[in-house]
Structure 1
Amino acid sequence: MRSDFYRFRAAWLIDAPVATVFAAVVDVARYPQWWPDVRTVSKIDEETAELVCRATLPFALTLRMTRLEQDERAGRLGVALTGDLEGSLTARVQEGPGSATRLEILQQVVATKTLLRALSPLARPVFRANHAVMMRRGQRGLRSMLRR
């Protein structure tokens, strides 16, 4: 496997209705309001936004997300990612245990940022840990925002 290829999975339980979670996840422009590691979002067109993300490590990633699928009834979302990471992100929003909603996120990306490509063979565990921290903060932020 290539050292610059990453596959990330996350499963979040959110105590809110499925429709509410789905609406929050598709509203990319509001991510900086609840996800501290998403620093900025700029709308490119109706299907594309550019995000600047920075978690714990001292560098930012710039990503363009282009919507490929948005099916609320099926609870499916999909975007193509380009920029410092290239690949895809898919999400599934569905009923979870009790009154919770389960949000499953799968990212499959190749690092294209020069720094990431150069350091991936050695720093891969650090990059994965940095991503995990970012996702935990996103989950906490979404939970908090939806409680208000």
Structure 2
Amino acid sequence: MDWTHYRFRSRWTLPAPPASVYAALERADHYPRWWPQVREVTRLDDATGVIRIRSLLPYDMTFTAREVRRDPAAGVLEIAMSGDIEGWARWTVTAHGDGTLAHYTQEVAVNKPLLRRFAVPGRPVFRANHRLMMRAGRRGLAAHLRAV
């Protein structure tokens, strides 16, 4: 098993129409406004940006995100990532009752030396750190959608 490889999945139920959720998720440069752990997004061009994140643990992760797929009809947003993490992430947005289900899938390998060094003993802590980040993101997006 490669201890530096991670696959994450999250499901966010949100009280807003799919088009509104999709519109918020496709504006990655606005994530720091509602997602506390997304500290900074710097656009490089229309399809690429540098993102700096930090959750509960005392380290930042920085990566370049490049848009791979933007398909509003299918509700899909996908990026390729390189830097402290290497891999991809995808949002799939669908109607769910009166609101929306936003399904997040991420598959990455960690390149950051500190995280590689502690890959085996730190794995449960790193996964918990990611869960906390995703929980805060869901809460932040829900509040943002209520405000707009």
**Which range, TM-score by smaller chain?**
over 0.9
Shift of 1:110: 0.1
1:83 corresponds to 2:106: no
Unmatched segments (≥5 aa) in structure 1:
none
Shift of 1:46: 1.0
Q: What is aligned with 1:116?
A: 115
Q: Distance in 1 between matches of 2:17 and 2:118?
A: 41
TM-score (norm 2): 0.98
Q: What is aligned with 2:56?
A: 56
How do 1:64-83 residues align onto structure 2 when only pairs under 5 Å count? 64-83=64-83
Shift of 1:115: 0.5
Q: Distance in 2 between matches of 1:12 and 1:49?
A: 24
How do 1:1-148 residues align onto structure 2 when only pairs under 5 Å count? 1-96=1-96, 98-148=97-147
Q: Which whole-Å deviations, capped at 9, do the CAs of 1:34-66 have from their partners, x for residues lacking one?
A: 000000110011110111100000000001110
Q: What residue identity is the alignment partner of 2:22?
A: F
Shift of 1:142: 0.1
Shift of 1:113: 0.3
TM-score (norm 1): 0.98
Q: Distance in 2 between matches of 1:71 and 1:12?
A: 19
Aligned length: 147
| SS of alignment partner, residue 16 of structure 2 | coil
| SS of alignment partner, residue 78 of structure 2 | strand
Q: Distance in 1 between matches of 2:80 and 2:27?
A: 16
Shift of 1:91: 1.3
| SS of alignment partner, residue 118 of structure 2 | helix
| SS of alignment partner, residue 52 of structure 2 | strand
Instruction: Let me know the Cα RMSD of the aligned residues.
Output: 0.6
Residue identity over aligned pairs, in percent, reads 41
Runs of 4+ in 1 over 4 A off after TM superposition: none
